[in-house]
A and B are shown apart, each in its own frame.
Chain A
Amino acid sequence: MTNIFADFLSSLSLINLGLAFSGVLAGIIIGALPGLSATMAVAILVPFTFALEPSSGLIVLGAIYTGAIFGGSWSAILINTPGTPSAVATTFDGYPMAKNGNGDLAMSISCMSSFIGGLVGVICLALFAPPLASVSLKFGPTEYFWLAILGLTLISTLAEGDNIKSLIGACIGLLMSMIGVAVVGGDIRMTWNISFLNSGIEIVSAMIGLFCIPVILDLTSMKGKHLSDSETPKNLRLKESFLIVFKKKFEAVRGALIGTFIGILPGAGGSIASIVSYGEAKRASKNKDNFGKGEPEGLIASETANNATVGGGFIPTLCLGIPGTPPDAVILGALLVQGIRTGDTLFTQQSSIVYTFIFGLFLATIIMLPLGLLMGRYAYKSIIKIPKEVLIPIIIFLTIIGSYSIQNNILNVYFMFFFGLVGWILNRAGFKASPIVLGLVLGQIAEQGFVQAYIIGNAQDNILANYFARPISIILVIFILMGLFLPALKKIYNRRKNV
């Protein structure tokens, strides 16, 4: 124990504190700019960390990652564009809140929620990493398939207004997810001989296009300000947001636990975590009807979950050497170059580096709270104050930079504009962007899981058992059935009671 305490003290050295601070700061800014993702932020800074002590280098990377996932919520709230894919669900209630003049409240709540989520994730990482890592191994192709299907059934829960239109939107997304070379089988599908499409639709540029461009077009075509000012623009509305978050503390912890759990599943990631958490929150909430119209509870669900995936994702990364999320893959590479071996032995033989790193993450999460609140207020004010004629070109400029820098490829920018146009037309026809993006993200996971499970089941001469007779699969299937039929059953029950 004394050792761990020493590690804690060493993580508190002045240089590490400074590094954690600047890491969070840089992370928030990068995360807030659409297209500049956490993965890229980490990748750019990897070479600089080689000049530092291994543990200090890790602290910076962890801090940037933490900051970037939180920063993604800003653009989600202020311009309806997820700054990182994991902030998709933040747009559902964050942007309506800002539209209603509660942008400052939303910024503060999102910061506090991210703080809670981050904290729960790091605590799970520190205390339960090895057992949780073995849980992630119980997830085979079948379980990934059912998890993706669970996410898809949530579309009906998320949908505001027209259910049929969201289902059609999700189907469009699913079709788009099949473009490119199939991972299993290697078939080339729907690429129209454009070799750029071999890798499939690039999700981030599609997302920027679908979410952001329609907002910009609407802004340009309509009179009036982008966001209406709140009545009390001067303060942070700290007390108010704290009370809201405190009142929803169980919901916040639930979101954080969902986020941590999905974080430990490699390849699932923050976007699925925040969507599942949002769906569960809406299903369980008393204010169900208010979701999607600016309900703080929805914002809390999404933001606690996505920041919890940071700590959760490091569990398989550090224990198994399997990256939990794309930024983890970069950090894993950095560890390898520095000669640090991940896996079982990491927690025993090189435990001091690990614990310094975990304390560093902890520290970054704590620093994020005041820094995020302060910077958030400033960012909110800037967006409110900047005249529309200046704001619109800046946002367009950022979307171009963002979509270019994902793969250093100008084609991504063209695709972003293409999706923007499609998104705008669909928006006019009443189709929302989120079901399309959900279909796009979940389709790939569902398809791979399904085909892999089929091949394995076929080899075992028992295909059906491989889909339905595995314990975790059964639980997931029950959740799916509940999501599909509970609302209908409730209606029938209520009708009978009334009769």
Chain B
Amino acid sequence: MKLKSHFKRFLAVLSLLILSLSGANAGVTNIIPFGPGGESDVTARMQQPYYKSIYNDDIVVQYKPGGGGSVGWSSLNSEKGDGSVIMGVNLPHIIMQPIAKGEKAGYKTEDVNVFSFFHYTPDAILVEASSPYQSLKDLLDYAKQNPGKLTFSGSGTYSANHLLIISLNKKAKVKTTYVPFKGTGAAVQALLGKQVLAEAGYSTVAAKQGKKVRMLAVASEERLPAFPNVPTFKELGYNIVSGAYRGYALPKSASKATVKEWSDRIMKINSDPAFIKQMEDNAFVVVNIGHKDVKKFMKQQQKANKAIAKELGLIK
């Protein structure tokens, strides 16, 4: 008798737990192909309350991490195409992974049915606050005099950070050393700990770290509202506008109407002044690339990334 009651209680706890886990699956699902805590997750979280207030429905964030996003993207087209599931997509990842890994990436760029990009984090060059380099010119002068000695930390290989250094090396005719780390956090740690002379990071690093770092240049079209004193690469004579773009995709089976509807939803959240303010405060740059413009934009990005891939010797 006693045993039975023990067992029953055990089962009750177990089923409660499973219920609470599965209960989290109401509403529409937004699959983030990375672990929690990254920029893709944070911006998806920022969208949640706006989506709820406009559409009176929950948008539930789920994670399917692995392979720098490729595990998620290679499974995207087997999800339901009725609009109940969307998946986060990132540039340059969905272009560079198939180029760098070929079939081993598990998906092709064309397989990812992107319907919008809603923001990007511009690439940036940062130094630690006590560093003697006050401007990008100082830093590049050092690199010119000491080929290969200027070290940059950055997140990952063939990532946006890495591509920035490749372009900069070419455009400024310098030779520098890029040191890949696992994730932005580790790259920042190396910068603050003076393991490297500079970081190839994102504008968001400057927003998070405040006075501990100095952003020397940012790869956006225009200066960022949160950093009016930081020049763009363009102003400094290097035509680089780059960064990590984040948006969403639907499975290929989704109808045109579903694609349009979802694109409109994301763009509607993007037009909310409070949302824009929250994004800008954290140095995210809001962009409005909806379903009509997304194909053209992808073509531009593919062209630019292929040029860099040639530089790297990944393609001929």
Contact = CB atoms under 8 A, between A and B. Distances in A.
B3 interface: yes
B37 A329 contact: yes
B67 A408 contact: no
Contacts of A198: 66-68, 70-71, 101, 104-106
Nearest to A334: B45
A228 interface: no
Contacts of B105: 195, 198
B179 A452 contact: yes
26 contacts: A29-B17, A39-B35, A43-B63, A46-B45, A137-B193, A137-B194, A181-B68, A183-B180, A186-B156, A196-B66, A196-B67, A196-B71, A199-B65, A322-B188, A326-B35, A329-B35, A329-B37, A329-B38, A329-B185, A330-B36, A343-B210, A344-B211, A385-B3, A408-B64, A456-B151, A459-B148
A156 interface: no
B244 interface: no
Q: Give the dominant DSSP class at A's interface.
A: helix
B256 interface: no
A315 to B, nearest CB: 13
Given A141-B195, A329-B35, 14 more contacts: A44-B24, A50-B49, A136-B189, A139-B189, A181-B67, A198-B106, A267-B182, A329-B185, A382-B10, A405-B21, A407-B64, A409-B71, A409-B75, A452-B181
Contacts, number: 198
Given A181-B101, A405-B21, A460 B36 contact: no
B10 A455 contact: no
Contacts of B310: none
A407 B65 contact: yes
A174 B194 CA distance: 29
Contacts of A381: 6
Contacts of A196: 66-67, 71, 106
B305 interface: no
Q: How large is the interface on A (under 10, 10 to 19, 20 to 34, 35 or more residues)?
A: 35 or more
A274 B7 CA distance: 33
Interface in A311-358: 316, 320-323, 326, 329-334, 336-337, 339, 341-345
Interface in A164-200: 180-186, 188, 191, 193, 195-196, 198-199
A36 to B, nearest CB: 8
Contacts of B212: 320, 343-344
Given A50-B49, A195-B71, A199-B71, A382 B35 contact: no
Interface in B89-105: 100-101, 103-105
A29 B16 CA distance: 11
A394 B10 CA distance: 10
A157 interface: no
B62 interface: yes
Interface in A142-164: none
A448 interface: yes
Contacts of B282: 336
A188 B67 CA distance: 11
Nearest to A461: B149
A121 to B, nearest CB: 20
Contacts of A182: 157
Contact of B36 (A30, A46, A50, A316): A46
B10 A386 contact: yes
A459 B6 CA distance: 64
Contact of A339 (B194, B195, B196, B278): B278
Contact of A409 (B64, B101, B185): B64
Interface string B96-140: 000011011111000000000000000000000000000000000
B54 interface: no
B257 interface: no
Contact of B208 (A341, A401, A409): A341
A182 B185 CA distance: 18
Contacts of B190: 140-141, 452
Contacts of A284: none
A6 B35 CA distance: 36
Interface string B186-225: 1011101111100000000000111110000000000000
A332 B37 contact: yes
Nearest to A381: B6
A316 B192 CA distance: 12
A139 to B, nearest CB: 7
Contacts of A50: 48-49
B177 interface: yes
Given A193-B104, A199-B71, A407-B71, A183 B181 contact: yes
A42 B185 CA distance: 19
Nearest to B207: A341
A435 interface: no
A266 interface: yes
A410 B197 CA distance: 43
A-B pairs with lowest CB-CB distance, top 10: A195-B106, A329-B37, A186-B157, A198-B67, A137-B193, A199-B66, A140-B195, A199-B67, A43-B36, A459-B177
B37 A323 contact: yes
Nearest to B3: A385
A247 interface: no
B277 to A, nearest CB: 10
